[in-house]
Structures are given as C-alpha cells and as structure tokens.
Amino acid sequence: MNAEILRELRMAVMSYDAMKAEELVRRAVDEGLDPLACADVLTEAIREVGDKFEEGELFLPDLMAAASVLERATPILKREIERSGKKMRNLGRVVIGTVFGDIHSIGKTLVAALLTAAGFEVIDLGVNVKASEFIDAVKRYDPDILAMSALLTTTAPEQRKVIEALERENLRGKVKIMVGGGPITQEFAEDIGADGYAATAPEAVKLAEKLIGEKG
Amino acid sequence: MRKGFMRKIKPLEILTKEQVEAIHRGTLDILERTGVRFEDDRALKFLEDSGCHVDYKERRVRFPSHLVEESIRRCPSSFYVKARDPEDDMRIGGNTLYFMSFAGLRICDPYTGETRAPTLAENDEAVRISDALENLDCFPSYTPYFEIEGVEPPMLCPISTASRIRNSTKISRSAQIADAPIWDIKMAEVVGMQMLGNMEASPPLTYYEDATKAAFKFGEVGFPVYIASGGVMGGSAPATIVGSTISNNAEMLAAVVMLQLIRPGIGIVANDFVFPMNMRNGSPHFGSLGCSLHQMIFNQIWHGYYGIPTVNAAAGASNSKLVDYQNGYEKMFVALTAALSGANIIALHGGVTAELSYHPIQAILDDDIACLVGRTIEGVEVTPETMAIEVINEVGPIPGHFLDKEHTRRWWKKEHFMPKAADMLSYPEWLRKGRKKALEYAKDRMEEILKTHKPKPLSEDENREIDEILREAREYYKEREML
C-alpha cells in the first residue's frame, strides 16, 4: 500500500496531475505514511523532470506543470512534518527577483518554482526590484543566496549595481550571488563579481545546491 | 517620396469573414470585461475622463466597445512622415510596401557567429551602409546596434538616434524607454524631420509608465505612432495562434483608443511582434511557422478589416547564429508571407540572430530578399507590349528566337531581377573565379558602399545643436542617478 502510494505520487508529478497529487498526499497523511518519504518522492520526481528537460525530452511547460504539482502537494506535507516535530528538508534560503526597470517574470518565476520544489525556501520579491529593495531583503531575511534575473541589456547593469551596493553595506560576504536572464553570460557574471551564472532553470537549481555546499 | 513597392495583387486571406468577426468580437469582450492595466496615474485619469471604466485599486481600464470601434475608424488608412530629405519621405499604409531595418544587440562575425559590442564608429558605418540600400526605407529605434561599446544604457537611445540622423536621411522610429522621446523630438526638430513615435505594451494586458508617457509626448508633437506588443505564445500570450491574436489585439487596441483620444486622427501603424516561445530556452522563436501564420492573420485583421497600416517585424532575424542557409530560409519565409498577406512595412534588413546580433553584410543580402518579395506583390503588367503577341507572331516557330529582338532588349532588365549579392555565375566560371558565395559578394558590396556612398551631411550648426542635446541628455540622466 505504501509503495503503491509513493509510486502513484511520482506518476502524478510526471503526468502533471496536481489534484491527484494532493489527493494522494492527503491519503498518505491519513494512513500515517512517513511524510518525509513522500516529500523525497516529490523532489526526486521533479529532479527527473529537470533531467529530461536538460536532455531535450521535456520542455518548459513541463517544468512549470511539474512545479505546480509540488506547489499544491508540498504545503500539506510540510504541515504534517512540522506537526510531528520533524523538519522539512530545507536546503537553504533564497531571495530572488527581477531587477529594476525589468518586468520579465516568467524565467524568474520558473527558477523560484524549481528551487522551492528542490527544497529551498524561496522569497520572491517580484519584478522591477530596486537595488535598495534587494539590500533590505538581504538584511531582513538573511538568505544564503541572492538570485537576480534580467532580461534586457539595458537592465543587466542593475545586477552589478546591487552587488556594489551590497559591498558598500558590508553585506557581500553574507550571501552567495547567482545571476541569470537572456543577455547574461558567464563572462558578465564573472565581470560583475557574481558567484555563479545559470543558463536554464534546472541549471539554476544545481548551481544553488553547489553554492550552498560552498557556504559550508 | 520613397516609392516602396506598389501592391497590385489581392492580399492573401487565410481567415473567412466570419472568423475575423469572431476574433474581433473576442477582442472587444476582453477589453470590455477584463480590461488592461495601466501603471501611469495620468493615463488612468485621462481614460476615465474620456469614457472608460477605471478601477483605481486594480489600476484596470475597461473599454466600452463603441469607443474601441470609433477609435479604429479614426485611424487614417495611410499617413505621411516627413524625412530629412524629401526623397526619403514616406506615406505609410494603403497599397504600399516598405522595408525597415532590423537591429541586434551586438555585431557578429558573419562566418563564426561570435558576437561583441560594436564601437560607435561601427554603428555609424552600419547606418551609412543602410542609407545606401535601395530597398531599405526606414529604421526602427536603437538600431543597428542596441549595445555600443562605452555607451551607458540610458544614453544608448539618444546616441543611436543621433548616429542615424547624421549618417542617413531615412526616417527613424523613436523609442519609449527612459525618456528617450524628449531627446528624439528635440533632435528631429533641429533637422526639420518627423519620426515615428513608439508605444509598446507589456503583455499580457499591461502598459507601464514609459509607454503612456511616450504616447502623450508623441501626441503632443504630432508624430505618427508605431504601436506594438511583443507577446510570446505560451508565455505572455496564449499558446494558440488565434488566442495570441486576440490578446495581442486587445493590448494594441487599448493603445489605439488612447492615442486617438490624445490626438484625434493621429497616424498609427501597428506592428506584429508576436512569436511562439521556443520551449527549449524560453526565447521568442523567430523565423517560425507561428510568426508567419500570426502575421498573416494580423494583416488581414488590422490592414484588411480595421483599415490600419501594419508592420511585420518577425522577418528581421533568424535563430541561426550565422549568415547561412537557415538564416536565408527563415527570413525569406516570414517576409514573403508578410507581404502576400498585406503588410505595409516589413522589418527585415540586417538582423542575424534573433535580436542578439546584426551585421551590414546581412543587410546587403536582405536587400535582395526585399526586392524579390516586393516585386512579387507588384505582380505583372498585362499590356499589348508585355503580351508580345506581335513579336511572337514575328518570331514564329524554330529557327526563330527572341534573343536578338528589340523587345527583349527593352524588357528583360525591367521584367526580371538580378540580385546584387548572389552567385549568378555558371559552374566553370565559378570554379575559375574562386568559388565565391553570396556572403562574399555582399562583403564586396559593403566595402564598395563604404568607399563611395556619402549620405547627405548635417550642417555645422545642426551638428552642434545635436551635440548640445546629447550633452543635455547626459546631464538629465546624471541628475537622476541613471549614469
């Protein structure tokens, strides 16, 4: 019975059936199944979707859909885990936003969704986020990682501005910084002093995991 | 005035009249019931005072259908734009097809596809080359390159406009971003020309402040306006072609209403800049089937049904990083369907990789595409002369032939088209002459243009005034800590 529920849960993610996933997770909780085991299945499933995306077998809508399934099912598991005195696997805290002057949100939202699905705690500041707002968020939330998105060449320089502002406030050493978006390149990321650059959303998750590892 | 190409064939229509009505009805419904978000308080108030329903809390404007349709009717079917040289004036709309330059972030090596930021000198050069191309009639904003070495982002637009004004007499479009209209309008005044204004939505269904501020400015000065909304199918627009037509229509008609209220009778040209999302990497998919079908529908609705002139900008670039086969077929495919379905302007010249790169060699190759496409919609002349019945009768059967006839000498050049930058040699000649390909012919042409073509220069006074405006712009952005 247990193995079956876990198997069906994986299938629910792979077939993007958020309602089914929610139903299964509630059933699992009712039947006293280990919620952490369920959470692990969800994480593994979305990782599988991410891998298939990287291989060219699945596409962006599939990533988004899989992330939505987790968005629906995970809070139920989280409540149950905390209720039983345990802790949800939390890889780290990420503050994410699209920089000032830029209102593109799809890429940033996808990264946020996949990071959440992978087990990070994500605070999404939205779009058109001023440098001062990023600084305030770093002070307020004390994240492990600050992630910035920019989709226009005219707004890419904002990423540099934020890093410089963090340096001025002696906060640079407290966070790992990752950047992404259309005009962003590895070269640009190194030039502005970021800790990493990812070209795709699944790569961003792997990068975040690596940066957390570096933080130690 | 620039001649462009005169359409003599009926535009290709892929929708029935009933389908067009269904799409328009759907558009009106969205505008009336869901409406469009405006971030600019002034725009909200203005639209409310003009009869729209405004929810200030949601910043949402809902448009009464009669107002939308009245605004459509107010748009002229064609309008005049004054250039720095009367020979480059344009009348946009009706049965004329013009071609517009495209743009790219950076300059690329056409052989290797590697990109780098161009210098201002390279930008000037690229403009000069475009000035020489016969079938390139006008420029969009921040073109040819929208990243120039050593130029900080807020100064890009004014510096780009100055480069175009100095190195060409052809008409340019202004940009809506970062108060660029202020400087563009001033520079245009110095040389006594108009520009195309610019007002662009942020799909889905949103206008940010830059767009509406620009609308007020361009309306004030009386420049016709180029409207656009770059929806990406499956991202900021529905994944279906017709669905993205409706959401795009709603975004653009909101601009039409606002502009006609600001300045009744203002000339508007509507740009189709909607692309399928490349579901591998999230970018707009240029050169695609989705673009081609979307613009055909767009032209039928906007040009055919609404009577508003259209631009199709999807032909401007390819997904190929190189000047190669994929580039050629993608751009030709999209340009041709645009022309056949009734576009008034096709953005084509110079874009290599979708908005990332540009090269003048590409622009030169594209100039031949423009001529092929334009001449196609000009059709053929059917007259006693062209029917050649007398000559056919005179020549009779074999051994008669046409090569030595005066009729042939008179007509072959007019009737046919020899591309300027393509391989037209016989095989043995080609072997003998070094196996040259189209790209190399284009490169030769580029070098020749740079050696021989001198655009009409500005006077010393005009140059000085332009420099002064750029200085003013720099101060302005410094004061606002944008530099």
Which 8-state DSSP code applies to residue B123?
H
Q: What is the pLDDT of residue A1?
A: 61
Using the structure block, give the residue that is written with the tokens 């379905």. B341
Query: What pLDDT band is residue A154 in, cutting at 50, 70 and 90?
Result: confident
Q: Sort B444 into a burial class: Cβ within 10 Å, 0-12 / 13-18 / 19+.
A: middle
Instruction: Name the residue of chain B whose CA is nearest to A157's CA.
Output: B153
- What whole-number percentage of chain A has pLDDT above 70? 99
Mean pLDDT over B292-308 rounds to 98
**Helices in B263-358 by DSSP H: which ranges?**
289-299, 325-340
Per-residue tokens: A68:
């939505």
- Average pLDDT of every residue of chain B: 96
Mean pLDDT over B378-402 rounds to 96
Under an 8 A CB cutoff, do B283 and A59 touch? no
For residues B470 and B158, is the Cβ–Cβ distance under 8 A? yes
Which residues does A37 contact at the CB level (< 8 Å), separation at least 6? A6
Whether A61 contacts chain B with CB within 8 A: yes
Domain with CATH 3.20.20.480 in chain B: 5-14+72-378
Four-point Cα dihedral A114, A120, A124, A127, nearest 10: -50
Interface test with B, best of A60, A99, A108 (most B CBs within 10 A): A60
For residues B324 and B72, is the Cβ–Cβ distance under 8 A? no
Does the pLDDT value for residue A2 go beyond 90? no
Instruction: Name the residue of chain B whose CA is nearest to A62's CA.
Output: B279
Q: Which residue has the higher pLDDT, B386 or B283?
A: B386
Query: What pLDDT band is residue A216 in, cutting at 50, 70 and 90?
Result: low
Interface test with A, best of B38, B149, B280 (most A CBs within 10 A): B280
Under an 8 A CB cutoff, do A182 and B283 touch? yes
Spans of all domains in chain A:
2-83, 92-215
| ipTM given for this complex | 0.84
The alpha carbon of residue A65 is apart from the nearest alpha carbon of chain B, in Å, by 13
Under an 8 A CB cutoff, do B236 and A107 touch? no
**Bridge partners, B5 (sequence order):** B97
How far apart are alpha carbons B284 and B275 in whole angstroms? 5
Does the pLDDT value for residue A153 go beyond 80? no
Mean pLDDT over A12-24 rounds to 96
Does the pLDDT value for residue B421 go beyond 80? yes
Mean pLDDT over A60-74 rounds to 92
- What whole-number percentage of chain A has pLDDT above 90? 77
Does the pLDDT value for residue B348 go beyond 70? yes
What is the topology classification, in CATH, of domain A2-83? 1.10.1240
Instruction: Name the residue of chain A whose CA is nearest to B153's CA.
Output: A154
Cα angle B353-B359-B362, degrees, rounded to a multiple of 5? 80
Would you give the end-to-end CA distance of chain B in angstroms?
40
Q: What is the pLDDT of residue B281?
A: 86
User: What residues in B contact A98, CB-CB < 8 Å?
Assistant: none
Under an 8 A CB cutoff, do A60 and B279 touch? yes
The alpha carbon of residue B281 is apart from the nearest alpha carbon of chain A, in Å, by 7
User: What residues in A contact B208, CB-CB < 8 Å?
Assistant: 103
B258-273: pLDDT as tens digits: 999 999 999 999 999 9
Per-residue tokens: B55:
């929810």
Helix (H, G, I), strand (E, B) or coil at B130: helix
Which residues does A185 contact at the CB level (< 8 Å), separation at least 6? A197
Mean pLDDT over B323-331 rounds to 96
B93-149: pLDDT as tens digits: 999 999 999 999 999 998 899 999 999 999 999 999 999 999 999 999 988 998 899
For residues B334 and B294, is the Cβ–Cβ distance under 8 A? no
User: What residues in A contact B155, CB-CB < 8 Å?
Assistant: none
Does the pLDDT value for residue B61 go beyond 90? yes
Four-point Cα dihedral A154, A112, B288, B357, nearest 10: 30
Query: What pLDDT band is residue B282 in, cutting at 50, 70 and 90?
Result: confident
User: What residues in B contact A182, CB-CB < 8 Å?
Assistant: 283
* Sequence-ordered strand ranges (E) for A4-117: 92-98
Thinking of the domain A92-215, which architecture would CATH place it in? 3-Layer(aba) Sandwich (3.40)
Under an 8 A CB cutoff, do B279 and A157 touch? no
Superfamily of the domain at B5-14+72-378: Trimethylamine methyltransferase-like (3.20.20.480)
Mean pLDDT over B412-422 rounds to 94
